[in-house]
Amino acid sequence: MKRTLLTGNGAAAWGARLAAVDYIPAFPITPQTEILETLAYWVDNGDLDTRLVTLESEHSMITAAGSSAATGVRTFTATSSQGLLHGMEMIYTVAGWRVPFVMVNVSRGLAAPLTLESDHNDIMAARDSGCLQLHCATCQEVLDSILMAYRLAEHPEIRLPVIVNLDGFYLSYTREPVAIPDDDASRTFVGEFDSGSIHFKAGAPLSHASAVLGGSTYSYFRYSQHLAAQRGLSVYEEIAEEFARTFGRRHDAVEGYRHEDAEYLFLMIGSFATKGKEAVNSLRDAGWKIGLIRPHMLRPFPVERIYSLARGKKAIAVIDQNISMGKGGVLHTELASALYGKPGAPPILASFIGGLGGRDLPYEELFEIAKTLRDSAAAGATPPPRLLYTETELLEMRKLQAIAGVRIPFEEVHHD
């Protein structure tokens, strides 16, 4: 094992390298491209015995990832944002093929308007696809999750693609100290690729992904896929346990931070959760009983794990770095469905949306969210959902709009 500074993209490339992948269908997109470039450099140098092919689109890239996994090789790929959506038809399709491979998504906001910076609407669009999802908060977790993701994807009871998600810029381009596991230990942990019953070769004819007629046949396969995805939680917990024994690092399906005696909780995913933890530390210093829970696994949704951590709390703030237009935060909805009607479920489930398109989530806002939780719990009423945006931001926005020729309402800037 060696410890070095790696970006999230570098950590992702190391994950693929240590998993001894056979095949990498690729396509560049910001902020993911460094993963592809790093792997291509290793392949060219002979450090990695892997075939890397750049396709002409993510739609083709994900198709090739699925069909290579179906033919019997360990496959890795990576994308982001528009690329993920361009390939979305195939994300659903290859999950239905029940083929195991690992894809990294470097989260970036979706157009329009076009942006390069991070939020989670891209990965949320893949939520219902059948691909399992692991969401990372640190560069170390990116590397470790990829190793665990191969075990999860290839497990005979699961056999589904796994997406490992990391935030663009905040992780992709940020250097953090990362322990790189030994080659041998990693390979022993991940094991040999076994494509199971799905492989194309002469003398073993196989019709795969055929059409079906009728809702019963269709439903049977769809339910099977759902049940396989649900088995992902218990299988993941076994894998994470073995990972902790082997490498000394534990990555629970749901991380709890200073939550045990807490009355209030933040629920966050991804890299902003590390900032959430710092806010918890400050609030604890000021005497607040507050903690944080962070689902590392988002599909399958670890309902029981979240319930056990949330049970008995006075209020939870779900901070969504995504927005379901016309509804609100996706995680807020998911959490409500996981907790509703259960004994001891927190009576207050507040929704906050922030961090869209790379927008920061400053500590002041996290403190304000904590105050809202406390006030709401005291009043016994869930507050309306909040779209986080400051007056300063609005003022800056108005300056841009003035340049763009938008007429600014007099009342807004003129305060008597």
Binding site for other proteins (CB under 8 A): 22-23, 25, 49, 51, 53, 55-57, 59-61, 63-73, 75, 89-90, 93, 200-213, 217
CA distance 193 to 182: 19
Question: Phi/psi class of residue 300: alpha, beta or left (left: φ > 0; alpha: ψ in -120 to 50)?
Answer: beta
Shortest distance, CB of residue 385 to other proteins, whole angstroms?
37
Shortest distance, CB of residue 94 to other proteins, whole angstroms?
9
DSSP-assigned letters across all residues of 139-186: HHHHHHHHHHHHHHHH-TTT---EEEEEETTTTTT--EEEEE--HHHH
Nearer to other proteins, 97 or 266 (CB): 97
Nearer to other proteins, 179 or 198 (CB): 198
Nearer to other proteins, 7 or 68 (CB): 68
Buried b or exposed e, range 323-359, using 16+ CB within 10 angstroms? beeeebbbbbbbbeebbeeeeebbebbbbbbbbbbbb
Nearer to other proteins, 90 or 228 (CB): 90
Nearer to other proteins, 21 or 349 (CB): 21
Closest by CA to 288, choosing from 320, 259, 308, is 259
Shortest distance, CB of residue 113 to other proteins, whole angstroms?
26
Q: Cβ distance 323 to 110 under 8 Å? A: no
Q: Cβ distance 79 to 27 under 8 Å? A: yes
Closest by CA to 196, choosing from 11, 307, 70, is 70
Shortest distance, CB of residue 87 to other proteins, whole angstroms?
9
Shortest distance, CB of residue 369 to other proteins, whole angstroms?
43
Q: Cβ distance 275 to 174 under 8 Å? A: no
Q: Would you call 230 exposed, middle or buried from its count of C-beta atoms within 10 A (0-12, 13-18, 19+)?
A: middle
User: Which residues share a beta bridge with 110?
Assistant: none
Shortest distance, CB of residue 202 to other proteins, whole angstroms?
4
What's the distance, CA 21 to chain centroid? 21
Shortest distance, CB of residue 354 to other proteins, whole angstroms?
36
Residue count of the chain, please give it.
416
E runs forming strands in 230-299? 254-257, 264-267, 290-295, 297-299
What's the distance, CA 126 to chain centroid? 10
Shortest distance, CB of residue 200 to other proteins, whole angstroms?
5
Alpha helix segments (H runs only) across 1-96: 8-18, 33-45, 58-71, 81-86, 88-96
Nearer to other proteins, 100 or 291 (CB): 100
Nearer to other proteins, 212 or 387 (CB): 212
Nearer to other proteins, 183 or 242 (CB): 183
Nearer to other proteins, 217 or 401 (CB): 217
Shortest distance, CB of residue 91 to other proteins, whole angstroms?
11
